[in-house]
Structure 1
């Protein structure tokens, strides 16, 4: 049975899921700040609504099968067969990068019951091109991003010296694509799900959201119900320790982006003694609720919208908006509303550009300021009646292929993991008020980010929001970008404060994450840390 309702608008998707796709879309180139005492960026941290009042209670949570183990699995004979594995590297069947090798490791489905069944985790490697010093494990974010696919791009994001010195390694976390990837809707149903649109704030929108929430949950449970309870981040972090052992490494060196920072900090909490050189870029704050997560992203994307529109107006010719920045925002909101009412021709009569698809495309563009020119062009076309380019961007960010298939299951893995990791407020009246607040304060995307997508999810959450200290693990490098829409800068500040031994690097710029796209300064600091162990100066801003 589904647990208690968690949102008025369950159709909303947390935007971090597009991170990996947008990094690929960007070609791998290369906020009025919230109060200092508010790491969530969403008002008073005890209320989520800025009122200063104490929040209603969170929904009840269960316990992760991977969290409270009696002993360290690496030293427990019950797990010896997992920790004694090696990886048989060979050609990849479905990865384009010619230098990528593939293999698998086996892990327990339920970490607290290693004799109850196993799953295979798909792993990939790009071998060091020079004098190897170790393995650098990476995660592209999501949750739901395929690490194996990500390896096609990682060598373009790190320096030549890092590629020469490290085997670059990644994996599809449990439930993702090749690693017992969950199956939910068909490709045709996924198209319908992504395009589903009704007038913002209407009763029809609420009904549509409820219908799709139930339909998605039922499909995921019917097709993958046996694995859904075990896809939480603590379990994935335990898997990552098996990967470390299979690589022959005593310590784990790690580069995590976006959700990958949550996976990395969770690993550091579980295995502080085996943390090597850790870089967490575009940090998630483990102490916030699902509702604070949604609110932080609603605010972050509103700020990013304002920055995009200001830049567009400065460009002059080629910008489809006119007047002041506020007038430009209203023109964008009016465009979305018009497409809600009347989808645009996209060149494919079976797939017109709906309001939901138009918003998804603009969200994708906001991830990377290098995409802003594309965004201006696509919006100009769309505001002149041609939705083809916005549909192309929306499909690319969703990893939809030209033949209508989807390359990964990221659209569903993000929900499966987030619903386990992040409980929300269990008070329908509060949720109604919060959804209305986000829609009013952040009118561009607040209405679509006002829910958490878990209203009908068949598995209860297994983790309560809590700070992570990872005592004994440091030093850990945390990176935040001041104009990051998906993981607001305040979350990086908060994580760096929570960790027992961490330094914070700040990229003063727009877009999601910094390493590999900051223009040099962040890259120099991170490379010196990864290659030489030189810990950056805490508080350095580039």
Structure 2
């Protein structure tokens, strides 16, 4: 499938990992305040401001959100039970926002964006506005994730309604489903790792063609409109319909790219914005894959040091980082010919084992589960635990059904950067990937093939006018994507208010250097960087009091921390 071995960035703590393991083993400085931070609204908080939204028909610009009790999440969103009440009895409410399918044809076809919210604990006078969350991916359903993560953000309800959404192509927002669960399982087992000869290359091409054909059949007309730039325009319309003069935003991982894109298109519409686990805005897909390989290698070596200290000679990969990396690489390579027993007829392949290992490297809280999983795989020849972790990452439930997060990840990634160098580039970059990650490089190098064959052309994603409003037609706008050679917007939010950036030194999925580069790209005086020294993907609500206080003071009181603040 296009883009294989590029890993989604996750924006929430994976508490379900503990459940999966149990099941398997049982079997600051003050800055300026808001000048237009929000507006006091009617109690239902669903009526847009009276002004029009330039470029849109009145039916979209003046739409009113109807909030009702939330149903059970769909399979595409992640499944499970309907969200209950918050501890104080506040119910979760859901609605839909209508947006143009094509932002260059705002009077044409529309799609529905799924929304969820929990209203603020503040009274109307103290309420700042709505705080809109994107939890990463691309492909994560905000409607599914926000209730699960809500306890991490409860303090913020003192000033905001907490709001999230399924971005276009995700979950219940015209979610893309390219293959069903049975097909996905078959494809994962049929070619369990990158091809090693001409025959396996032909099989990979056949499977890629089958997958792309499924995407085209299911969502062909939608695919060109799943860019991050289009999602950023949806985000600004959501701001308008929620009744906020400026967008207050909390983006995690890929959500930082979406937030920075919105700020670049609509700098005048930026409110209080936090970007945590920041994506590097300067890298091309191949370079991004290389950085991610290095990031996960660093996390692996940090786990190995921890494992050696805790387990000593009983650590399943030994006590030396170089030797341990070789053990992991040999283990993954050996699965190509000898996959391990997994779940029923499903075997633990090299690809699935890599995915299971990667999942546990997102947060040091999960390192004990990696130790257990590798011990059972290397010493007992059992792949069930790593397969369970891969299933968790891939959104597969016990009935063999998948959320649409992987299909959405592919569709959005490939809409932003269609094409790619193809299979010929693998050998060109193999040594660089192996140098970046002796353990994972031989598999992750296949990310350089890009989105070869994806049915979306490279074209302009449009721009925003100087007044901060959208340019509805390409003829009326400047093409901000020309310098990138793809459909992404150049990041430059000059003129926006301060945006809080948080980078973690041991982040495997979005390495720390990306936060520094995002600060440079946003423009002088816009990005304010906090550094968290530690492990894991993301910083807020991860047990670091310094980070949490700085973010809460910024969002709730408008206090801007000193640029360069370090939280140990």
**Do both share a fold (TM > 0.5)?**
yes
Which of 228, 234, 243 aligns to 1:239? It is 234
- Once the two structures are TM-superposed, the CA of residue 425 in structure 1 deviates from its matched residue by 5.6
The corresponding residue for 1:286 is: 281
Task: Verify: 1:523 aligned to 2:548, yes or no.
Answer: yes
- Once the two structures are TM-superposed, the CA of residue 101 in structure 1 deviates from its matched residue by 1.1
Corresponding pairs, count: 486
Distance 1:74 1:342 in 2: 63
Given that residues 126 and 151 in structure 1 are in contact (C-alpha distance below 8 angstroms), is that contact kept between their aligned partners in structure 2?
Answer: no
Distance 2:317 2:217 in 1: 46
Which of 172, 175, 183 aligns to 1:181? It is 175
Pair 101,413 (structure 1): closer, same or farther in 2 beyond 3 Å: same
Q: What are the within-5 Å matches in structure 2 for residues 8-407 of structure 1?
A: 10=2, 12-17=4-9, 19-20=10-11, 23-25=14-16, 75-76=53-54, 78-95=56-73, 96-99=82-85, 100-131=92-123, 132-158=127-153, 160-198=154-192, 202-203=196-197, 205-316=200-311, 319-346=315-342, 348-383=343-378, 384-406=380-402
Given that residues 195 and 356 in structure 1 are in contact (C-alpha distance below 8 angstroms), is that contact kept between their aligned partners in structure 2?
Answer: no
Task: Verify: 1:458 aligned to 2:455, yes or no.
Answer: yes
Given that residues 132 and 164 in structure 2 are in contact (C-alpha distance below 8 angstroms), is that contact kept between their aligned partners in structure 1?
Answer: yes
* Stretch moving more, 129-138 or 276-285: 129-138
- Once the two structures are TM-superposed, the CA of residue 471 in structure 1 deviates from its matched residue by 1.4
Distance 2:365 2:116 in 1: 28
- Once the two structures are TM-superposed, the CA of residue 505 in structure 1 deviates from its matched residue by 0.7
- Once the two structures are TM-superposed, the CA of residue 140 in structure 1 deviates from its matched residue by 0.5
- Once the two structures are TM-superposed, the CA of residue 191 in structure 1 deviates from its matched residue by 1.8
The corresponding residue for 1:64 is: none
- Once the two structures are TM-superposed, the CA of residue 24 in structure 1 deviates from its matched residue by 4.8
- Once the two structures are TM-superposed, the CA of residue 22 in structure 1 deviates from its matched residue by 5.7
Q: Which stretches in structure 2 are left out of the alignment for 5+ residues? A: 20-50, 74-81, 86-91, 460-480
Task: Verify: 1:514 aligned to 2:529, yes or no.
Answer: no
- Once the two structures are TM-superposed, the CA of residue 207 in structure 1 deviates from its matched residue by 3.5
Give 3-state SS (helix, strand or coil) of 1:541's partner. strand
Normalising by structure 2, report the TM-score.
0.81
Give 3-state SS (helix, strand or coil) of 1:124's partner. strand
Distance 1:409 1:191 in 2: 14
- Once the two structures are TM-superposed, the CA of residue 272 in structure 1 deviates from its matched residue by 0.8
Distance 1:149 1:115 in 2: 30
- Once the two structures are TM-superposed, the CA of residue 473 in structure 1 deviates from its matched residue by 1.0
- 1:64-111, CA deviations, whole angstroms, 9 ceiling, x for partnerless residues? xxxxxxxxx964254332221121111111143213211001000001
Distance 2:195 2:183 in 1: 24
Give 3-state SS (helix, strand or coil) of 1:379's partner. helix
Given that residues 198 and 205 in structure 1 are in contact (C-alpha distance below 8 angstroms), is that contact kept between their aligned partners in structure 2?
Answer: no
- Once the two structures are TM-superposed, the CA of residue 390 in structure 1 deviates from its matched residue by 1.2
- Once the two structures are TM-superposed, the CA of residue 472 in structure 1 deviates from its matched residue by 1.4
Distance 1:296 1:228 in 2: 27
Give 3-state SS (helix, strand or coil) of 1:340's partner. coil
Pair 427,183 (structure 1): closer, same or farther in 2 beyond 3 Å: closer
* Stretch moving more, 332-341 or 439-448: 439-448
Which of 438, 445, 455 aligns to 1:443? It is 438
The corresponding residue for 1:534 is: 559
**Superposed CA RMSD:** 2.3
- Once the two structures are TM-superposed, the CA of residue 420 in structure 1 deviates from its matched residue by 1.8
Distance 1:352 1:225 in 2: 32
- 1:413-453, CA deviations, whole angstroms, 9 ceiling, x for partnerless residues? 11111112235765875554024431454232223322254
Task: Verify: 1:498 aligned to 2:521, yes or no.
Answer: yes
Given that residues 180 and 401 in structure 2 are in contact (C-alpha distance below 8 angstroms), is that contact kept between their aligned partners in structure 1?
Answer: no
Pair 276,24 (structure 1): closer, same or farther in 2 beyond 3 Å: farther
Pair 448,350 (structure 1): closer, same or farther in 2 beyond 3 Å: same
The corresponding residue for 1:477 is: 500
The corresponding residue for 1:51 is: none
Pair 21,387 (structure 1): closer, same or farther in 2 beyond 3 Å: farther
Distance 2:382 2:17 in 1: 23
Given that residues 193 and 349 in structure 2 are in contact (C-alpha distance below 8 angstroms), is that contact kept between their aligned partners in structure 1?
Answer: no
Distance 1:533 1:11 in 2: 40
Distance 2:293 2:303 in 1: 15
Distance 1:27 1:468 in 2: 38
- 1:478-519, CA deviations, whole angstroms, 9 ceiling, x for partnerless residues? 111111111111111100111121111111111111111142
Per chain length, whose mean CA-contact separation is higher, i.e. which structure has more relative contact order (CA < 8 Å, sep 6+)? 1
The corresponding residue for 1:36 is: none
Give 3-state SS (helix, strand or coil) of 2:565's partner. coil
Task: Verify: 1:468 aligned to 2:478, yes or no.
Answer: no
